[in-house]
Structure 1
Amino acid sequence: MKNALADGGQQAAARRPSDTAPAARRRSLIRLTRPWLLLAPALVVLAGLLLYPIFQVGKISLQDWEVKFGGGQGEFTGFDHYGDLLSSELLWKTVMPNTVFFAVACVGLTVVLGTLVALLLNRLGTTWRAICSVSILAAWAMPAVTGTYVWIWLFQPEEGMFSQLAGALGLIDPATTNWFTERLPFYAIATLNVVHHGFPFVAITVFAGLLTIPRELYEAGMIDGASAWQRFWKITVPTIRPVFLVVTILSTIWDFKVFTQIFLMPGGSGANEEVYNLGVYSYVQAFGQDDYGAGSAAAVLLTLLLLLITVVYIRTLFRQGEEDL
């Protein structure tokens, strides 16, 4: 009897792996597919809103596209538009330098100013912190169009506040000085505009990171005789380095594709080639000169630059996560 039971148990044990294998495969398949099924609606929407337009722009960049009523048609030209774009003197001497140096200046100033404001918020009491937070968020909430026209009004020739102030100090002649005709002052005003609009995001994000730093670390640094500058570089920066990384990369992506602030300023919509950036150049080529293929090629170039920045951002985040582990 005992031998029979033992034999039956052995047979059941022998059958168990084969019986449970299909169930294990089903559970594994569910684990693999469930996240994608849950993400499917959002991915479909993103594909419709992003991937399809990108595909269309890439296709038009390979054609001489002619707009007609109810649509358009194009003649395939291969990479001719890319060849013309990459061999253009305007691109390398004006458009790319404007795009890159403007983005670098805006990112640097935005991160520095936002960090200083975050440090100030961290030292204020509850009441003043709330007042300052609401004040800087008002700048963030202001539409880019509205903010741009405010800065245009401030630097308006003759009647602008800064023009009159500089004239009173004897720095310029308000009657003959136009801040928007030359490349350097034009982008100086655009930089002020973008930094004013972007620093609140950095300030609030860095301030949130500062709240996660234990007070004991600063107290230990003060006991060891560390100055405020040393405490910032030795405690604050290493502790919330991922926060600084995120705000820097996101600001870089946003500032590389600035369009509204440049296009709305006097001369920025195509009248002055010296102030083109890559976004405005693409728009002017496509809609100002009806050369949709060339404009699409410029848009693809800008997209590739942003994708490169995004890849660097993701790899840096992963590397940072591995170092933290």
Structure 2
Amino acid sequence: MKDTLVSGEPKIPAPRGPRPPDGAAEAARRRKKLITLTRPWLLLAPSLVVLAGLLLWPLIQVGKLSLEDYEVKFGGGTSTFTGFDHYSDLLSSSLLWKTVLPNTVFFAFACVGLTVALGTLVALLLNRLGTTWRMICSVAILAAWAMPAVTGTYVWIWLFQPQDGMVSQIAGSVGLIDPETTNWFTERGPFYAIATLNVVHHGFPFVAITVLAGLLTIPKELYEAGELDGANAWQRFWNITVPTIKPVFLVVTILSTIWDFKVFTQVYLQPGGDGSNEEVYNLGVFSYIQAFAKNDYGTGAAAAVLLTVLLLIITVVYIRTLFRQGEEDL
């Protein structure tokens, strides 16, 4: 028979391979893939347009201005392309390397370190309080964060006012200074010490509330296990608290660094910070003085671009550290 082999066994039909998809199925698959790829961007498009208008376009304009000599005239202004001359002049300036950058970097790192440390201590205190007292204390410290930077700066100026300021009077009464001859705002060290107190006082509530939110997510069983193992308070903090909410510390550090590197109000409003004392310039104030006090818009824009690049580098380093930590946890 045709359906049997010579031995008499039935013939087993050969297995058929998968049928190639027809044109309609392939088109549907491609359309579905395209929708999957484009739908998130379509949902983000309105926000991206707003961000581009508010952030990207001004940044492009500042970069363009840093390559020009711009002269303000009635009814508008004229610009002349100069290339990287402003950057060359800026980077060859002794004022930048000896005063502006050291003031910016050391002031920012001091503010970040003290803000994160004080905010963490306050968060640990709030975590130990009951619900009622925690709410009262949280509202109290948030008042410092809600205070406008201008108002807070003038309060600190009033406290350290020469001759009749409260701090000057107290320091003079115990013989530390002579209130009649001491001016806290003329020298770089005391000037930035007062600015640091101002910035830390204004910024620690954010760190405290953020770290407190992280502390509330840590299971109490971890601390109980640590106590049973004989760990003291410092060991429990370093070996349990810090590893558990390390991403929280990284986030508040990143944000504090960005804010403190571009501090302007707290420096500019203090006596001498408006340009009359070059020893207290930071990058933000230097950029403003060059652009609006000296009408050198190109150099001011170049300083602003330098500050932006510096912040981007620091932010990228922090974010890479955060992602690397997340991969290690996985």
CA distance in 1, matches of 2:258, 2:119: 17
In the alignment of these two chains, the number of paired residues is: 316
CA distance in 2, matches of 1:269, 1:119: 38
Compute the displacement of 1:15 (Å).
Answer: 5.9
Q: What TM-score results when the alignment is normalised by the length of structure 1?
A: 0.95
Q: Which residue of structure 2 lines up, in the alignment, with residue 135 of structure 1? A: 140
Q: Which residue of structure 1 lines up, in the alignment, with residue 270 of structure 2? A: 265
In the TM superposition, what are the counterparts of 1:101-250 in structure 2 within 5 Å?
101-250=106-255
CA distance in 2, matches of 1:321, 1:72: 50
CA distance in 2, matches of 1:153, 1:76: 46
CA distance in 2, matches of 1:17, 1:103: 63
Q: Which residue of structure 2 lines up, in the alignment, with residue 323 of structure 1? A: 328
In the TM superposition, what are the counterparts of 1:78-117 in structure 2 within 5 Å?
78-117=83-122
Specify the code of the residue in structure 2 equivalent to 1:152.
I
**1:268 counterpart SS class:** coil
Within the alignment, does 1:290 sit opposite 2:295 as a pair?
yes
**2:19 counterpart SS class:** helix
Compute the displacement of 1:249 (Å).
Answer: 1.2
1:12-33 deviation line (CA, Å, top 9, x unaligned) = x736454321111111101111
CA distance in 1, matches of 2:22, 2:240: 54
| Structure holding more helix per residue | 1
Within the alignment, does 1:68 sit opposite 2:73 as a pair?
yes
Specify the code of the residue in structure 1 equivalent to 2:202.
H
CA distance in 2, matches of 1:83, 1:310: 25
Q: Which residue of structure 2 lines up, in the alignment, with residue 29 of structure 1? A: 34
CA distance in 1, matches of 2:45, 2:248: 30
Compute the displacement of 1:71 (Å).
Answer: 2.5
Compute the displacement of 1:175 (Å).
Answer: 1.0
Compute the displacement of 1:105 (Å).
Answer: 0.4
Greater CA radius of gyration, 1 or 2?
Answer: 2
Compute the displacement of 1:133 (Å).
Answer: 0.3
Residue number among 38, 41, 44 corresponding to 1:39 in the alignment:
44
Compute the displacement of 1:77 (Å).
Answer: 1.0
Specify the code of the residue in structure 1 equivalent to 2:148.
P
Q: What TM-score results when the alignment is normalised by the length of structure 2?
A: 0.93
Kindly, what percent of the aligned residue pairs are identical? Answer: 80
CA distance in 2, matches of 1:46, 1:238: 34
Q: Which residue of structure 2 lines up, in the alignment, with residue 7 of structure 1? A: none
CA distance in 1, matches of 2:212, 2:252: 12
Residue number among 240, 251, 264 corresponding to 2:256 in the alignment:
251
**2:72 counterpart SS class:** strand
**1:75 counterpart SS class:** strand
CA distance in 2, matches of 1:185, 1:281: 19
RMSD of equivalent CA atoms = 1.4
1:49-68 deviation line (CA, Å, top 9, x unaligned) = 11111111111111111012
Decide whether aligned partners of structure 1 residues 94 and 123 sit closer, same or farther in structure 2, where only a CA change above 3 A counts. same
1:214-270 deviation line (CA, Å, top 9, x unaligned) = 000000000011001100001000111111111111111110000010001111010
1:79-132 deviation line (CA, Å, top 9, x unaligned) = 111111001000000000000000010000000000000000000111111111
Provide structure 1 residue ranges, at least 5 long, that are not aligned to the other structure.
1-9
